[in-house]
Amino acid sequence: MKRRPAEISLKDAIEKLLHDLNLSNKLKEVQLIGSWEKIAGKLIARHTQDIYIKNRILFIKTDTAALKQELTYMKTRLLEKLNKEAGEDVIEDIRFIG
């Protein structure tokens, strides 16, 4: 079936709506938070108490100081994995709290 020129696919319409409402980055942030266990691994995710993004900075609260220190060493690799998962640079920095 051939589309008429004025018709667009549902996918394109949703992407345009998200872009027009400036929600596409917010959606990617939510998807990244949902992918935290896949990116960091089950053990790290289990010891992560809180995770949120504000102004392109990912904040991670851990339940142990040792894990906080270990994650600090992994910061660059985590940033790469997160942005690769998003398909673009969504996160500029990671801060560990706790």
Q: Pull the structure tokens for residue 24.
A: 């596409």
Which pLDDT value is given to residue 14? 87
Question: What is the CATH architecture assignment of 29-97?
Answer: 2-Layer Sandwich (3.30)
With CA atoms as reference, report the closest residue to 81 among 37, 40, 26: 40
Which pLDDT value is given to residue 1? 57
Contact 48, 41 (CB under 8 A): no
Contact 86, 31 (CB under 8 A): yes
Contact 45, 33 (CB under 8 A): no
Which pLDDT value is given to residue 6? 76
Contact 96, 62 (CB under 8 A): yes
Cα–Cα distance measured from residue 32 to residue 97, given in angstroms and rounded to the nearest whole number: 18
Q: Show the low-confidence residues of the chain (pLDDT under 70).
A: 1-5
Nearest 5°: phi and psi at 88?
A: -165, 170
Residue spans per domain, the chain: 29-97
Burial of 78 (0-12, 13-18, 19+ CB in 10 A): buried
